[in-house]
């Protein structure tokens, strides 16, 4: 189903070519929508889920920006292929764990994705590399308007768009920034910074989003409220907080380089040594170690590796990517050994000499 080119292709959001990409890995904006006069997915029969899936796919394919997108029905896909899409941030685990006709319409670069029959009938998402909230929202807003001309959304004049979960009602709008904040972690200021962000309505999750732990100094930050304001207001408020976090992170990195450069260099080169010569690597360890290398590249300490190369290593080392890359089922123990070998072959022979 997936060609070798697709398996090794780094999604656009993970290509390190957007504004402030040293701190903001990606920007993601999502809208939750439901169809009028239809049962929510959790209550819909198998037949109704099938009808909803076909109606939404047809409608999305009629949108000019989505004519080249591919529609995938998870009832006809194996779990590895579904997990691959999750690892590319095209779909959620909730979609994988659901039942009946459900799936996604997405483009080749994972910029646009429309999940069908997840928690809501429609979860449409746009993503981009770096900090690009305005650009991403403009595209998603246009898609939402165009899709709204094809189908009738469930909407209440007082409550706004109706969703399965009350926390999404109103606008159904969620903006998320995947951030790399090693400076704040190393200066031990991350807890106070995130506590301040929480007081301003910001949720913090891990590298894989909802239900995931923080690994490798990656934090996903998103707005909590979806009612009481317009989408543009939620976007501006959240973006202002993210800009402050970027400034805090830059200041923390400057402080580290000024006061503890030798210790940081030692941490970076030790991380390279483990990655280069380890015989087994689990995913958490890989993310933590490549985080140190990423910091080294971004601070000008490590010149022999690029962030783009590190991103490819992380992506191809994910479980489903590895199984599709090697075209076979891989046990956990075998995967740890194969991952270490893959990383070793991807890194240069030496650094800092």
Domains for the chain: give ranges and CATH numbers: 4-180+200-246 (3.30.590.10), 260-346 (no CATH)
Asked if 244 and 200 touch (Cβ cutoff 8 Å), the reply is: no
How far, in Å, CA of 275 to CA of 287, rounded? 11
Count of alpha carbons within 13 angstroms of residue 147, beta-carbon side? 30
178, containing H or E segment = strand 173-180
How far, in Å, CA of 221 to CA of 26, rounded? 11
Q: What is the pLDDT along the chain (353 residues), one digit of tens a residue?
A: 566 667 778 999 999 999 999 999 999 999 999 999 999 999 999 999 999 999 999 999 999 889 899 999 999 999 999 999 999 999 999 999 999 999 999 998 989 999 999 999 999 999 999 999 999 999 999 999 999 999 999 999 888 999 998 888 899 999 999 999 999 999 999 999 999 999 999 999 988 777 678 889 999 999 988 877 889 999 999 999 999 999 999 999 999 999 999 999 999 999 999 999 999 999 999 999 999 999 999 999 999 999 999 999 999 999 999 999 999 999 999 999 999 999 999 999 988 76
231-238 long-range contacts, Cβ below 8 Å, gap at least 24?
231/137, 231/141, 231/171, 231/173, 232/137, 234/171, 234/173, 234/175, 235/29, 235/133, 235/134, 235/137, 235/173, 235/175, 237/200, 237/201, 238/133, 238/175, 238/177, 238/202
Burial 106-143 (b: 16+ CB within 10 A, else e): bbeebbbbbbbbbbbbbbbbbbbbbbbbebbbebbbeb
Quote the DSSP letter at residue 64: G
Count of alpha carbons within 13 angstroms of residue 143, beta-carbon side? 29
How far, in Å, CA of 213 to CA of 287, rounded? 12
DSSP characters over 7-32:
HHPPPGGGSS-STTTTTEEEEEEEEE
Asked if 102 and 117 touch (Cβ cutoff 8 Å), the reply is: yes
How far, in Å, CA of 65 to CA of 49, rounded? 25
pTM: 0.94
In the three-class reduction of DSSP (H, G, I as helix; E, B as strand; rest coil), residue 68 is classed as: coil
In the three-class reduction of DSSP (H, G, I as helix; E, B as strand; rest coil), residue 219 is classed as: strand
């Amino acid at each position: 189903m997936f060609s070798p080119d697709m398996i090794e292709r780094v999604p656009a959001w993970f290509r390190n070519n957007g504004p402030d990409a040293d701190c903001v890995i990606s920007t993601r904006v999502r809208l939750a929508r439901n169809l009028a006069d239809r049962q929510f997915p959790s209550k819909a029969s198998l037949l109704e889920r099938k009808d909803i899936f076909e109606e939404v796919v047809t409608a999305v394919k009629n949108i000019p920006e989505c004519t080249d997108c591919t529609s995938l029905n998870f009832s006809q896909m194996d779990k590895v292929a579904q997990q691959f899409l999750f690892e590319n941030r095209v779909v959620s685990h909730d979609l994988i764990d659901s039942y009946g006709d459900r799936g996604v319409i997405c483009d080749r670069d994972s910029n646009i994705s429309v999940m069908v029959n997840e928690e809501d009938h429609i979860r449409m998402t746009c993503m981009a590399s770096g900090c690009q909230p305005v650009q991403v929202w403009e595209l998603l807003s246009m898609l939402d308007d165009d899709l709204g001309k094809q189908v009738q959304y469930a909407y209440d004049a007082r409550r706004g768009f109706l969703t399965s979960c009350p926390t999404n009602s109103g606008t159904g709008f969620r903006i998320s920034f995947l951030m790399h904040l090693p400076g704040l972690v190393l200066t031990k200021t991350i807890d106070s910074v995130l506590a301040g962000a929480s007081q301003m309505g910001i949720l913090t999750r891990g590298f894989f989003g909802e239900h995931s732990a923080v690994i490798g100094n990656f934090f996903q930050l998103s707005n909590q409220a979806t009612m009481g304001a317009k989408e543009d207001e939620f976007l501006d408020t959240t973006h202002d907080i993210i800009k402050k976090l970027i400034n805090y992170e830059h200041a923390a990195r400057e402080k580290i380089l000024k006061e503890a450069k030798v210790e940081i260099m030692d941490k970076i080169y030790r991380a390279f040594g483990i990655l280069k010569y380890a015989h087994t690597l689990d995913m958490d360890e890989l993310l933590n170690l490549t985080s140190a290398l990423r910091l080294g590249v971004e601070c000008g300490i490590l010149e022999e590796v690029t962030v783009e190369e590190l991103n490819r290593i992380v992506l191809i080392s994910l479980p489903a990517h590895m199984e599709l890359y090697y075209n076979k089922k891989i046990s956990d123990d075998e995967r740890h050994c194969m991952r270490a070998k893959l990383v070793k072959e991807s890194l240069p022979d030496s650094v800092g000499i």
